[in-house]
């Protein structure tokens, strides 16, 4: 089969590799019908994730058709159309029992790490993929849901909802600021209404992204490159004291620091961005404000719920799909996604 293979920092190739095979009774083999590229894949290609070694097939998102099942698999059968979770969960360990699938203790890839696709085992940017723990790591798709909508349930939608909205403790009536209007920030905006946010403020340096965010659930937008932008955010709150929840969706020190300055006393900062550098927190100011700061790696425990909402067209997940490619155009898709500021790409959809 063909697959996108990592060969060290800055090196990748669409090349022939052996077909995957069943290795455990809980495995399935899935023919990939649609996949996509994540910002994490770009981090890997920069050499930011040293656990990814030469020869690894990248990708952790996908929709496909089951072609082979292990003897212990009970929830899906050959021919079923499924969405693959970016997190693999055994469903039996102590962390899985708590719904913290991101920290699954099963000895697949590495104990304590649920993100293994395209990281510690071969991933989904390929014609076929082996999926461990199929009963708890793939979800059968109902009729009527498109591949381009379904693939957003692999990672982006549960990440935005779980780490931004749920961990951020959004409540009915809250004013929520989302710093960063890229795909993850937009996923937060799209799902903040599920918990009753009264106002969702998109904050970004790009006016075009801010305007686009209003079609994903943002009620207001503020350009953070302009003087006095923080005061503009406060003016959008009831009493000018700050927002109830600030979500960091970029992954750099200045944006997390900005979130801590935007929230009101008793407010909540939810960090979703992937950080590669230390962040200095002004604890001398924060300790007295009853501020809560949360972090997290998605566990995808909400995927079944989100799948129902997408299937009923309550969440227009297909809106993230801005560019379309075939599998044999994988390298072109990477080029387009890697130049997202220029190409205006949100998510590239790569299909057979």
State the CATH number of the domain containing residue 6. Answer: 3.90.180.10
7 and 93 together in one domain: yes
Query: Comparing 11-15, 40-44, 54-58, 156-160, which segment has the lowest mean pLDDT?
Result: 40-44
Verify that 77 and 95 share a domain, yes or no: yes
Domain count, the chain: 2
What is the mean pLDDT of the segment spanning 312-317?
Answer: 95
Q: Is the same domain home to 274 and 309?
A: no
* Global pTM value: 0.94
User: Are 151 and 162 members of one domain?
Assistant: no
Q: Does one domain contain both 232 and 328?
A: no
235 and 121 assigned to the same domain: no
Are residues 184 and 119 part of one domain? no
**Based on the domain organization, do 313 and 236 belong to the same domain?**
no
pLDDT of residue 306: 97
Work out the average pLDDT over 175-202. Answer: 97
CATH number of the domain within which 189 lies: 3.40.50.720
Query: What is the dihedral angle through the alpha carbons of 206, 208, 211, 217, rounded to the nearest 10 degrees?
Result: -70
- Domain check: are 137 and 183 in the same one? no
**Same domain, yes or no: 148 and 197:** no
End-of-domain residue from the set 253, 269, 294 = 294
Question: pLDDT tens digits for 153-163?
Answer: 999 999 999 99
For the stretch 81-115, pLDDT in tens is: 999 999 999 999 999 999 999 999 998 888 889 99
User: Among the three residues 294, 312, 336, which one is the final residue of a domain in this structure?
Assistant: 294
- Same structural domain, 92 and 170: no
Q: Which domain holds residue 289?
A: 158-294
């Amino acid at each position: 089969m063909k697959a996108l293979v990592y060969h060290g920092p800055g090196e990748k190739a669409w090349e022939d590799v052996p077909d995957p095979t069943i290795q455990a009774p809980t495995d399935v083999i899935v023919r990939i019908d649609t996949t996509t590229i994540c910002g994490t894949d770009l981090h890997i290609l920069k050499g930011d994730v040293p656990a990814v070694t030469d020869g690894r097939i990248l990708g952790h998102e996908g929709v496909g058709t089951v072609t082979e099942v292990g003897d212990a698999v009970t929830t899906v059968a050959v021919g079923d159309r499924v969405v693959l979770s970016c997190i693999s969960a055994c469903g039996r360990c102590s962390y899985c029992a708590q719904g913290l699938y991101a920290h699954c203790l099963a000895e697949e890839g590495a104990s304590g790490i649920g993100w293994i696709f395209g990281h510690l085992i071969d991933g989904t940017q390929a014609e076929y993929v082996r999926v461990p723990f199929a009963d708890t790591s793939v979800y059968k798709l109902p009729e009527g849901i498109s591949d381009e909508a379904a693939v957003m349930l692999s990672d982006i939608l549960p990440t935005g909802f779980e780490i931004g909205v749920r961990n951020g403790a959004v409540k009915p009536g809250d004013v929520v600021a989302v710093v960063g209007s890229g795909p993850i920030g937009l996923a937060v905006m799209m799902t903040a209404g599920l918990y009753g946010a009264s106002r969702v403020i998109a904050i970004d340096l790009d006016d075009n992204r801010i305007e686009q965010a209003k079609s994903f659930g943002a009620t207001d937008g503020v350009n953070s490159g302009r003087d006095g932008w923080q005061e503009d955010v406060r003016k959008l709150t009831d009493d000018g004291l700050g927002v109830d929840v600030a979500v960091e969706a970029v992954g750099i020190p200045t944006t997390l620091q900005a979130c801590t300055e935007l929230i009101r006393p008793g407010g909540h900062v939810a960090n979703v961005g992937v950080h590669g550098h230390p962040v200095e927190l002004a604890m001398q100011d924060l300790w007295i404000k009853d501020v809560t700061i949360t972090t997290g790696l998605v566990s995808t425990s909400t995927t079944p719920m989100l799948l129902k909402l997408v299937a009923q067209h309550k969440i227009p997940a297909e809106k993230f799909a801005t560019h379309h490619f075939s599998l044999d155009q994988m390298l072109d898709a990477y080029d387009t996604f890697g130049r997202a500021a220029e190409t205006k790409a949100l998510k590239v959809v790569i299909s057979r």
